[in-house]
Amino acid sequence: MIALLSRLRVDVLLLLVAAAWGSTYLVAKELVSPSTVVTLLALRMLLAAACMAIIVAIRQKRVTAPEMRVGTILGVLLAAVFAFETFGIAHTSATNAGLIISLTIVFTPILESAVSGRRMPGRFFFAAGTAVIGVILLAGNGTFRPPSLGDLLILAAAIVRAVHVTSMHKLTSARPMDSLHLTTVQLTTCAAIFSVASMFYGDSLPHFLSTFDLGRGALLLYLVLACTVFAFLIQTWAVRRTSPSRVSLLLGTEPIWAALVGVVLAHDSVTAVGYCGIALVLAGTAWGRSVEQRHRLATASDLSTPITAASGESAPARQ
């Protein structure tokens, strides 16, 4: 019962992250233009890193050298995700961005299988394929259009996000690391990269800030606190308590939230085919989540009850 509640807590928090990220695209679309992508990212990361640094300072717990090293590596990957994603948002619709990024649910298990040597069940890929078909239907509302530059950039972001999730699990599973510290180092690395880049590309930070009013300021704070600090802290915490594939499947509900935000707030039109796509994404995500969980539990059970060569009987599980 305790284990079930623990898994449920992880799942609920990841769904909240998915909902926050689903709203990110509309929020970022309101704030960004092609010339302000790097400046917005620099401001977003600086504020987020500052918030995390304050929390770390209050805890008075030292960041270790391994946390610094792993966090920096993951931060570089995270910066690439943000760059591809935000440039993509500037060149495509918020709804398309939220949908295409969900293809991470396909790329992550492929990468995880390649790294671990453990093959996922075929049913998982059928489930992922169902979700992909749903994304295609929802993105095109029943039509098949060639991808735009923005769509391709979001696709690149989905690939790099899968690398980030898989790398996080690989690099943090061998030794205990503080989730708060890892998130802080990652966001600080992103802040450093985008702050330097903003000196050479796009709008200046002072000029960008001069365009802000109360409404844009509130959107920026939401982007920083909910979609960055909360989201990545929870992702870092959760990926160490479950598998990368499970994380990606739950975060794969992001396009549903993106579609809901687009329909309710941006008044995007969704046809009957689009709603079929929503149903397929939900069904594929739930199915894949169930398959992955059963497969992971079965694998763990097999590892804890090895077969002895002499007798062919199961050895007792280690406590």
DSSP run (H or E) holding 311: none
Phi, psi of 98 (to 5 degrees): -65, -25
For residue range 30-55, what is the model confidence (pLDDT) as tens digits?
Answer: 898 888 999 999 999 999 999 999 98
| More confident of the two residues 265 and 199 | 199
For residue range 265-316, what is the model confidence (pLDDT) as tens digits?
Answer: 777 677 788 788 878 877 887 787 778 777 777 776 665 554 433 333 333 2
Residues 8-31 have a mean pLDDT of 86
Side chain identity, residue 177 = M
Residues ≥6 apart with Cβ < 8 Å to 130: 280, 283, 284, 287
Residues ≥6 apart with Cβ < 8 Å to 267: none
Angle at 166 between CA 160 and CA 168, to 5 degrees: 100
* Range in 9-13, 14-18, 265-269 with the lowest mean pLDDT: 265-269
> 212: which 2 tokens?
């802000």
Q: Which residue from 76, 135, 83 is spatially nearest to 104, judged by alpha carbons?
A: 135
Residue 188 has pLDDT above 90, yes or no: yes
pLDDT for the residue numbered 5: 63
CA 157, CA 144: separation in Å to the nearest integer? 21
Side chain identity, residue 22 = G
pTM, two decimals, is 0.78
Q: Which residue from 237, 182, 196 is spatially nearest to 69, judged by alpha carbons?
A: 182
For residue range 203-244, what is the model confidence (pLDDT) as tens digits?
Answer: 888 889 898 899 999 999 999 999 888 887 787 778 777 776
